[in-house]
């Protein structure tokens, strides 16, 4: 109703004159509603008036209640303060008595402890003078505990005096203990039966003294024990590399002899352990001096024997004391190098990992057992390399010997290589390749048992040189082309002749190089696992693998060149055919049969010996070589007549068919689709060339441009010579060809012409094609291709009709491939 005017509302209520009769009832209804609303307003006003009065009364009552509560709280607080004052008055005397009791008790306790400390120090002084170590050890513990109670009284003169006296007593005990231990190992322990027990009690005193006293005592004992060792092995007689084993025999004998005597030391002192550490350090220092003072290179056998005995001694110490144990079982990783069968059964894999898990759990258990008695600091000392690392800079003579041995073995393997593989062999790999890696694995095992540091990396570099030398040997075994004056005079310079055996040898070389490529990568992976981490990133066989990849590439190229040389006679036979005087088109020519026989005898063997990837590479190289060669060989022929060109087309199709059947002949058809396209593309150029030769003289230029758009004027001139044209006629056509050269674009390939392409209109003459401006248009490429297709079908000559009849009669042979000759 907000947006509606009063007038509109009345008109809506009374739209007609007849409706005005309802005005009176409506007025009565409205007045009644007004009265009802007025009554409601009056009741609300009365109620609000009553509520305001009651609220004022409630607020006054609440204010009065709050005032009463505040008064009561104030009264309670006053009474509480009065009560507190009363309690303090009552307890004042009791608190004084409590503090007095506490101070008296503390004083009595301190005096009692002081009395005990004075008495204990005096007793300890007597025990120290009488060397009663067992009782003194217990008394030391008691005095130490009592002294701890007087830390707060350090500044009191009496306490300072007692502490100084106690310090002097401990010094006396220390000097007595060190003096008594100096007799250990002099033989007195056998004369005086109580000496060992006396020294055992002295160890208790040392334990009660400061830890530094124990360290000093153990160090003195170890130094005294090794004094005789230094005197013995620093002499001219035993200070030699070949006497290294006697050093370790001396310490083991010493420990075995004194095992019972050394039981006087608590096990927590780790006296044999610390003695061995000092022995190793002294031995390393002496061996370094011996090696550095050698005037000549050390004997390899002596050096390796000393290193081997040192490693064995370090292993014994690591096993005995459980510190830094290290597994030298690396044979499993090395044995994986060069394995031919990578698909091991699930049982073999399961056994391998069960063995690894058992070894891991065993080492953990040994470590836990060994560490029970090695809780002291430094108990986890790693004995591996503590002595043997001093040999590392002098192992270059060992590496030189290994390299010499490997090179000699390589020469022997190559000399004894038969360059053949036994029948039924699955891998077709030369035995020298596998034998070489077996020798390398043995060499790696020997070196890794001695060191895994710089020397192992140097040996790896030797492996790289040996494998590169083997790659050179394989490369040298490949058949070479003719060289010298005779080869140059006969035109055989650079040509490679290969027999059937040579082809097999080349395949074996390819397979061996592939095996070496793969196995050298496995060798690098195994070495990187066992060598020290700082050398792992430098272990790389990529250069060696590149060498073997080059051998593979060169071998396959040599294989192709060998087949090319076999084709020389057939290509020469092709040029000797009298193509210009051929009277009729017959079956495929003899040189085609020769090409077929060469491929039939070689391809099955190559397909059987080569892997699919390398066989496909060989096929691609062969097709890329034979296709262009066949094309260029056409130019080497003399005059080619129309019948000769027809016969050559038939031969071209036959050669194409033979090349397309090579994958099936080699029983490897995995990449046949791409190879077939490649062969078809290469051979289509020869077919296009022959179509140009077949074309009439007046349209040969346009046909040449259409079918061979990338051709050169020199090629076109040679085609005119093949057609048997005179020089004067050739010059006229060449002039027209050169003038019309820009009329046709130069695409990269020839577009195919469908059989459904309609022939050119009869009104379009050769003159119009050669001179398109005379008829007011420029000949398009499609028009020229149409003319070429029509000419190629031989619609104008009788010779073509005879050729088509011959091919129709021969359609059942090889599914009638001759029907496709002119479907460019």
Report how far Cα 573 is from the mean position of its chain's Cα atoms.
56
- Which tens digit of pLDDT belongs to each residue from 721-738? 888 887 877 787 887 777
Instruction: Summarize the chain as % helix, strand, coil (round to 5).
Output: 75, 0, 25
Is the pLDDT at 339 greater than 80, yes or no? no
- Which tens digit of pLDDT belongs to each residue from 678-694? 888 888 888 888 888 88
Together in a domain, 420 and 273: no
pLDDT at res. 191: 56
Q: What is the mean pLDDT of residues 715-724?
A: 83
**CA pair distance 682, 622, nearest whole angstrom:** 11
How sure is the predictor about 56, in pLDDT bands with cuts at 50, 70 and 90? confident
- Specify if 252 maps to a domain: yes
Among left, alpha and beta (phi > 0; psi -120 to 50; other), residue 776 is left
Among left, alpha and beta (phi > 0; psi -120 to 50; other), residue 323 is beta
% of the chain surpassing 70 pLDDT: 78
> Is 310 or 322 the better-scoring residue by pLDDT?
310
Where is 274: in which H helix or E strand? helix 271-292
pLDDT at res. 542: 92
- Specify if 587 maps to a domain: no
Q: Which of 675, 738, 736, 744 is nearest to 708 (CA)?
A: 744
Together in a domain, 415 and 476: yes
**CA pair distance 612, 514, nearest whole angstrom:** 13
Q: Which of 157, 530, 117 is nearest to 332 (CA)?
A: 530
**CA pair distance 779, 774, nearest whole angstrom:** 11
What are the distances in angstroms from CA 644 to CA 131, 204, 517, 639, 716? 129, 119, 51, 9, 18
Together in a domain, 486 and 432: yes
Q: Which domain holds residue 219?
A: 210-323+382-390
- Which tens digit of pLDDT belongs to each residue from 529-577? 998 888 999 999 999 999 999 999 999 999 988 888 888 888 888 888 8
pLDDT at res. 412: 92
Is the pLDDT at 353 greater than 80, yes or no? no
Together in a domain, 462 and 386: no
Together in a domain, 431 and 284: no
Residues shown for the chain? 824
Is the pLDDT at 92 greater than 80, yes or no? no
How sure is the predictor about 7, in pLDDT bands with cuts at 50, 70 and 90? confident
Structure tokens at 458: 């140097």
What are the distances in angstroms from CA 780 to CA 703, 706, 713, 777? 13, 10, 21, 9
Q: What is the CATH number of the domain that holds 464?
A: 1.10.357.50
Lowest-confidence pick of 86-100, 193-207, 486-500: 486-500
- Which tens digit of pLDDT belongs to each residue from 95-110? 788 888 888 988 888 8
**CA pair distance 540, 536, nearest whole angstrom:** 9
Together in a domain, 386 and 412: no
Burial (CB count <10 Å: 0-12, 13-18, 19+), residue 272: buried
Residue 513: other Cβ atoms inside 10 A: 28
Q: What is the mean pLDDT of residues 32-43?
A: 92
pLDDT at res. 812: 42
- Which tens digit of pLDDT belongs to each residue from 142-154? 888 888 877 777 7
Together in a domain, 430 and 513: yes
Together in a domain, 240 and 386: yes
Q: Which of 740, 813, 797 is nearest to 773 (CA)?
A: 740
**CA pair distance 797, 791, nearest whole angstrom:** 9
Q: Please answer whether residues 706 and 788 qualify as being in contact, where contact means their C-beta atoms are separated by less than 8 angstroms.
A: yes
- Which tens digit of pLDDT belongs to each residue from 659-675? 888 888 877 767 677 88
- Specify if 198 maps to a domain: no
- Specify if 576 maps to a domain: no
Lowest-confidence pick of 217-226, 351-360, 398-407: 351-360
Instruction: Among 552, 579, 595, give the residue marking a domain's end.
Output: 552
Together in a domain, 524 and 508: yes
Overall number of domains in the chain? 2
Q: What is the mean pLDDT of residues 776-802?
A: 39
Structure tokens at 211: 């830890």
- Specify if 18 maps to a domain: no
pLDDT at res. 394: 83
* Dihedral sign from CA coordinates of 14, 16, 17, 22: negative
- Which tens digit of pLDDT belongs to each residue from 433-477? 999 999 999 999 988 888 888 889 999 999 999 999 999 999 999
Q: What is the mean pLDDT of residues 625-630?
A: 86
How sure is the predictor about 371, in pLDDT bands with cuts at 50, 70 and 90? very low
* Dihedral sign from CA coordinates of 130, 133, 134, 140: positive
Instruction: Among 343, 370, 390, give the residue marking a domain's end.
Output: 390
Q: Which of 275, 355, 352, 351 is nearest to 320 (CA)?
A: 275
Is the pLDDT at 23 greater than 50, yes or no? yes
pLDDT at res. 779: 38
Is the pLDDT at 134 greater than 80, yes or no? yes
Is the pLDDT at 762 greater than 80, yes or no? no
How sure is the predictor about 347, in pLDDT bands with cuts at 50, 70 and 90? very low
Burial (CB count <10 Å: 0-12, 13-18, 19+), residue 487: middle
Measure the N-to-C terminal CA separation of the chain; round to a whole number of Å.
92
How sure is the predictor about 202, in pLDDT bands with cuts at 50, 70 and 90? confident
- Specify if 188 maps to a domain: no
**CA pair distance 9, 11, nearest whole angstrom:** 5
**CA pair distance 551, 530, nearest whole angstrom:** 30
Instruction: Provide φ and ψ at 73, rounded to 5°.
Output: -65, -40
User: CA-based Rg of the chain, rounded to a whole angstrom?
Assistant: 56
Considering only the C-alpha atoms of the chain, give the largest distance between any 2 of them, rounded to a whole number of Å: 156
Structure tokens at 92: 């004042």
> Is 445 or 423 the better-scoring residue by pLDDT?
445
Is the pLDDT at 717 greater than 50, yes or no? yes
Together in a domain, 433 and 386: no
SS3 (DSSP) at 413: helix
Lowest-confidence pick of 5-14, 66-75, 353-362, 529-538: 353-362
pLDDT at res. 515: 93
Q: Please, where are the H alpha helices in 695-760?
A: 700-707, 713-722, 727-739
Beta-bridge mates of residue 493: 482
Report how far Cα 296 is from the mean position of its chain's Cα atoms.
43
- Specify if 77 maps to a domain: no
Contacts of residue 565, defined as CB under 8 A and 6 or more positions apart, other chains included, come to 495, 496, 497, 498
**CA pair distance 359, 270, nearest whole angstrom:** 28
Instruction: Among 335, 361, 390, give the residue marking a domain's end.
Output: 390
Q: Please answer whether residues 634 and 577 qualify as being in contact, where contact means their C-beta atoms are separated by less than 8 angstroms.
A: no
Together in a domain, 386 and 461: no
- On average, the pLDDT of the chain sits at 76
Is the pLDDT at 402 greater than 80, yes or no? yes
Together in a domain, 300 and 414: no
Q: Please answer whether residues 450 and 303 qualify as being in contact, where contact means their C-beta atoms are separated by less than 8 angstroms.
A: no
Dump the DSSP string for 489-502. HTT-BT-----HHH
> Is 648 or 796 the better-scoring residue by pLDDT?
648
Q: Tell me the three-class secondary structure of 439-461, residue by residue.
A: HHHHHHHHHHHHCCCHHHHHHHH
- Specify if 244 maps to a domain: yes
């Amino acid at each position: 109703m907000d947006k509606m005017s009063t007038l509109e509302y009345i008109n809506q209520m009374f739209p007609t004159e007849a409706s005005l009769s309802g005005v009176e009832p409506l007025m009565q209804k409205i007045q009644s509603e007004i009265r009802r609303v007025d009554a409601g307003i009056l009741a609300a006003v009365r109620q609000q008036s009553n509520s305001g009065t009651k609220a004022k009364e409630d607020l006054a009552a609440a204010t009065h209640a709050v005032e009463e509560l505040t008064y009561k709280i104030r009264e309670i607080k006053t009474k509480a303060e009065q009560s507190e004052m009363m309690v303090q008055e009552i307890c004042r005397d009791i608190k004084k008595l409590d503090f007095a009791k506490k101070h008296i008790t503390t004083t009595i306790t301190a005096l009692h402890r002081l009395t005990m400390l004075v008495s204990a120090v005096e007793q300890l002084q007597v025990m120290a003078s009488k060397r009663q170590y067992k009782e003194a050890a217990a008394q030391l513990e008691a005095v130490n505990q009592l002294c701890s109670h007087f830390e707060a009284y350090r500044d009191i003169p009496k306490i300072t005096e007692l502490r100084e006296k106690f310090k002097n007593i401990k010094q006396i005990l220390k000097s007595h203990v060190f003096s008594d231990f100096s007799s250990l190992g002099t033989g007195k322990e056998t004369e005086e039966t109580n000496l060992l027990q006396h020294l055992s009690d002295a160890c208790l005193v040392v334990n009660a003294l400061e830890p530094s006293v124990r360290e000093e005592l153990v160090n003195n004992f170890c130094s005294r024990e090794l004094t005789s060792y230094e005197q013995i092995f620093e002499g001219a007689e035993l200070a030699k590399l070949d006497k290294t084993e006697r050093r370790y025999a001396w310490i083991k004998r010493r420990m075995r002899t004194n095992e019972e005597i050394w039981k006087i030391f608590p096990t927590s002192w780790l006296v044999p352990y610390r003695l061995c550490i000092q022995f190793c350090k002294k031995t390393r220092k002496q061996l370094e001096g011996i090696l550095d003072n050698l005037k000549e290179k050390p004997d390899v056998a002596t050096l390796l024997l000393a290193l081997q005995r040192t490693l064995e001694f370090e292993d014994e110490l690591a096993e005995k004391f459980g510190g830094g144990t290290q597994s030298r079982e690396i044979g499993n990783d090395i044995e994986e190098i060069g394995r031919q069968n990578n698909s091991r059964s699930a049982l073999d894999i399961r056994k391998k990992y069960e063995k690894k898990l058992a070894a891991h759990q065993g080492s953990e258990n040994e470590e836990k057992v060994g560490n029970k008695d090695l809780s002291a600091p430094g108990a986890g000392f790693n004995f591996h390399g503590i002595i043997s690392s001093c040999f590392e800079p002098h192992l270059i003579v060992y590496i030189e010997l290994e390299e010499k041995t490997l090179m000699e073995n390589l020469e022997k393997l190559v000399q004894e290589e038969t360059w053949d593989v036994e029948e039924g062999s699955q891998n077709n790999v030369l035995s020298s390749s596998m034998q070489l890696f077996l020798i390398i694995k043995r060499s790696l095992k020997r070196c890794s048992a001695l060191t895994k540091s710089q020397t192992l990396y140097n040996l790896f570099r030797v492996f790289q040189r040996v494998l590169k030398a083997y790659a050179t040997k394989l490369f040298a075994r490949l058949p070479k082309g003719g060289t010298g004056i005779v080869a140059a005079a006969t035109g055989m310079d650079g040509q490679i002749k290969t027999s059937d055996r040579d082809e097999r040898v080349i395949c074996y070389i390819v397979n061996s190089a592939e095996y070496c490529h793969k196995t050298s990568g496995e060798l690098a992976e195994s070495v990187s696992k066992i060598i020290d981490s700082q050398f792992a990133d430098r272990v790389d066989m990529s250069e060696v693998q590149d060498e073997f990849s080059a051998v593979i590439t060169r071998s396959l190229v040599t294989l192709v060149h060998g087949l090319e040389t076999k084709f020389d006679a057939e290509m020469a036979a092709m040029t000797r055919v009298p193509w210009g005087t051929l009277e009729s088109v017959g079956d495929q020519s003899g040189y085609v049969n020769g090409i077929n026989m060469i491929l039939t005898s070689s391809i099955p063997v190559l397909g059987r010996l080569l892997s699919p990837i390398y066989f496909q590479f060989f096929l691609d190289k062969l097709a890329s070589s034979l296709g262009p060669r066949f094309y260029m060989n056409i130019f080497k022929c003399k005059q080619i007549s129309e019948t000769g060109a027809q016969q050559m087309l038939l031969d071209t199709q036959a050669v194409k068919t033979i090349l397309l059947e090579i994958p099936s002949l080699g029983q490897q058809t995995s990449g046949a689709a791409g190879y077939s396209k490649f062969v078809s593309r290469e051979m289509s150029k020869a077919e296009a060339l022959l179509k140009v030769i077949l074309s009439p003289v007046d349209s040969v230029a346009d046909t040449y441009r259409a079918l061979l758009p990338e051709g050169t004027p020199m090629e076109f001139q040679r085609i005119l010579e093949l057609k048997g044209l005179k020089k004067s006629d050739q010059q006229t056509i060449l002039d027209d060809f050169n003038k019309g050269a820009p009329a046709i674009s130069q695409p990269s390939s020839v577009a195919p012409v469908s059989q459904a392409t309609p022939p050119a209109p009869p009104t379009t003459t050769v003159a119009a094609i050669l001179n398109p401006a005379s008829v007011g248009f420029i000949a398009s490429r499609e028009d020229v291709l149409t003319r070429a297709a029509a000419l190629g079908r031989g619609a104008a000559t009788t010779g073509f009709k005879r050729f088509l009849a011959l091919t129709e009669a021969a359609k059942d042979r090889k599914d009638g491939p001759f029907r496709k000759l002119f479907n460019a």
